[in-house]
Amino acid sequence: MIERKITAALVFAIAVQTGGALVWAGAAAQRISTLEDRVDLAHPIAERLARVEAQLGAVRAQLDRIESRLERIDE
């Protein structure tokens, strides 16, 4: 009789732990899905930022050329 109680308690404990693990795994999957969605949204923004930085570098180079020409004219 004691063996049946231990067995039933053990089965119940394993069932509870399995249920908890499944709930945790579901929550983790949801968090991962949310993060993947955020990355998908951020990707185009990162590309645009890279293009803006490249254009800013070109503008700086052009401004340097204009300034050097103006300095030569003043001399």
- 3-state class (DSSP) for residue 75: coil
In this prediction the pTM is 0.53
| Sequence-distant (≥ 6) Cβ neighbours of residue 21 within 8 angstroms | none
| pLDDT 10s digits, 29-59 | 999 999 999 998 888 898 999 999 999 999 9
Q: Is the pLDDT of residue 14 over 80?
A: yes
- Torsion sign, CA atoms 13, 18, 24, 27: negative
User: Measured between alpha carbons, how far is residue 27 from residues 21, 31, 33 in Å?
Assistant: 10, 6, 10
pLDDT for 30: 95
Q: Which long-range contacts (CB under 8 A, 24 or more apart) does 70-73 make?
A: none
